Chains A and B, each alone.
Chain A
Amino acid sequence: MSPSLKLGLGLLAVLALSAVSLFIGVSDVSLASLLSSADEDRPMQVLLISRVPRTVALILAGSGLAVCGLIMQMLARNRFVEPSTAGTVESASLGLLVVTLLAPGWPLFAKMLVAAVFALAGTALFMRLLAAVPLRSPYMVPLVGIMLGGVIGSLTNFVAYRYDLLQTLGAWTMGDFSGILRGRYELLWLSAGLTIAAWFAADQFTLAGLGEAFTTNLGLNYRRVLSLGLCIVAMATAVIVVTAGAIPFLGLIVPNLVSALMGDNMRRSIPWIALMGAGLVLASDIVGRLIRFPYEIPIGTVFGVAGSLVFLWLLLGRRRHFD
């Protein structure tokens, strides 16, 4: 099978999942009911206001997080780094909390920018920490990130506790797409743009991952590439945290799975990573919606189980791959 044919099949699978996602829910939306009703009728309205935005949001968030993970893994030269193992998610939540407290009236976009700035600062701090200490094992990198995230997270918790915002905070840290409606997800298109930007800069990230000396030797500005990568990651993470909440380990497992399946040629693998990220998130959300119908289980919980299982398998089962 040719690579493009395979990619086409992958795309088809994601489209199929999207179709399933469109037609699942309490409110009856089926092809027949859609065709037999007018635009202002209930099925069409549900489809346009809730189902389509939700499905699009899932696809955008999934592919965005997966590509973020890939960029971070390239830049930190470690396979276990992603927004939730580098303090990025926690920093974004802190930023969002701070701006919610200090400037509650700001539009969502401005809040998202503040969250992105915090995410950038937190991730940069993580990279500084990594550069500052000798790393004795590849597993230390995500450990440092998770602990940094924990410290930032408890700070956030404390502030939220003081101002009675713990529940709001929970919504940002625990991915849940059930609240996605038209008019409340469009920021995610930004993450799509960033994903495409990452595709174009893919080769540069690969090089930057090889280190400052190596990059400079090839005539590339290391700091600029690094900053570009971190900015993309921070923005995309902030957008996702603001709109739907983070999904743990997605950015970690997707690039690893794709790399196991087809190697590490970034240009070739990025479309696959985006597709697989979208597919996994769609599938998890569908499972969360079906498993206890008509109630919904947030995707954060569903993916927490699936994601950590795959992560464990990556850690223990395929260890030789990483040594």
Chain B
Amino acid sequence: MTSLRPRQVLLGLAGLALFSMVLFMVWNAKGAWDFVLPFRGRKLWGLLLCAWAIAVSTVLFQTVTGNRILTPAIMGFDALYQMVQTLFVFAFGGFAYLTLPAELRFLGNAVVMVGLSTLLFRWLFGRHGGSLHLLVLVGIVFGVLLRSLAGLMQRLINPNDFVVLQDAMFASFGAIAPTLLLISTIVLGLASLVILPLLPQLDVLLLGRTPAIGLGVNHKRTVSLVLGVVAVMVSVSTALVGPVLFFGLLAANLAYLIMPTHRHAAVLPAAALLAVIGLVAGQAVLEHGFGFDTALSIIIEFAGGLVFLILLLRGGNR
């Protein structure tokens, strides 16, 4: 009987997500379907990928780190991505970077990201895993450092390279190239496939390291694998829309709140669906309802910051 309720909730969420997608596609279309459908369809696809990547990576990250206020973004993962991008342009020059095939660029970025973020993570959690608050603070300051470093390097490269870089880092939804969408879809799909067989282990990881080992989970291997997936997903979402600090936090915590189970098989899709609803419906309403264009991220930051403060002050996490 207990397995029925999560399914109902998921179905409800899926319905809402579908409704938001339809809303996004047809609102204010004014009959110009030939133009609107492919244009908005591409935009929608980008939003869906993002929602999926951000929500899933946040839930995975929180399970592995055993808390509910840290997110990859707060720990500076997306700043790391920007930093890597800047480094590439810095090292190879804008033109050379641009002439590389998009697939190769993306792959190179992802590989470096996975390597660096694993190092960063090992270092942080290996030595300072004791205090959650210290960890978050270090993560935030690290983010400032990486962003400043990226900013510094961006000013050191020549202006033409800088334009290349800006395009690479902040592809707006309207302008996402079909190839990038395709690559992102494939990469996200593969990353998700890696996670699929790990779902039961992930549930056990909720108990924390020691009990999980006691129950026979290969903790180190599982955690490394999951973190690799998180790094890939963060790269994808950052490549698509740039950094969003708090969105994952919102989606993940909302999912914990409304799902009547802790199982990842239910919580992960729930978080992703919530993210879809938030992003797609939010974008539709802001764009067509109010005529704002990029304000969504600002509103998300506001709400996310408040939720973070509340979580922090309520202190449900140790």
Contacts and interface: CB of A to CB of B under 8 A. Distances in A.
A197 interface: no
B128 A309 contact: no
B144 A308 contact: yes
Report the contact-size class of chain A (Cβ under 8 Å from the partner).
35 or more
Contacts of A301: 148, 151-152, 155
B137 A248 contact: no
A154 B134 contact: no
A271 interface: no
B309 A147 contact: yes
B142 A150 contact: no
Given A136-B133, A316-B128, A154 B301 contact: yes
Given A143-B133, A316-B138, A155 B302 contact: yes
B309 A139 contact: no
Interface in B94-119: none
Interface residues of B, number: 36
A302 B312 contact: no
Given A133-B315, A311-B141, A305 B305 contact: no
Interface of chain B, helix or strand or loop or mixed?
helix
Interface stretch (A67-75, A204-212, A291-299): A291-299
Contact of A305 (B134, B145, B309, B315): B145
Interface string B1-26: 00000000000000000000000000
B258 interface: no
A260 interface: no
Given A154-B302, A304-B151, A315-B138, A147 B308 contact: yes
B299 interface: yes
B156 interface: yes
Nearest to A309: B145
Contacts, number: 104
A134 B133 CA distance: 14
A129 interface: yes
Contacts of A138: 133
B191 interface: no
B259 to A, nearest CB: 25
B309 A304 contact: no
B309 A315 contact: no
Contacts of A315: 134, 137-138, 141
Contacts of B315: 133-134, 136
A40 B138 CA distance: 52
Contacts of A312: 138, 141-142, 145
A137 B151 contact: no
Q: Which 9 A-B pairs have the closest CB atoms?
A: A304-B148, A139-B133, A308-B145, A151-B305, A154-B301, A154-B302, A150-B305, A137-B133, A305-B148
18 contacts: A129-B313, A132-B313, A134-B315, A137-B131, A138-B133, A143-B136, A143-B140, A147-B309, A158-B299, A161-B292, A249-B141, A302-B152, A305-B152, A308-B141, A312-B145, A315-B137, A315-B138, A316-B127
Interface of A: 80, 129, 132-134, 136-140, 142-144, 146-148, 150-151, 153-155, 157-158, 161-162, 248-249, 291-292, 295, 297, 301-302, 304-305, 308-309, 311-312, 315-316, 319
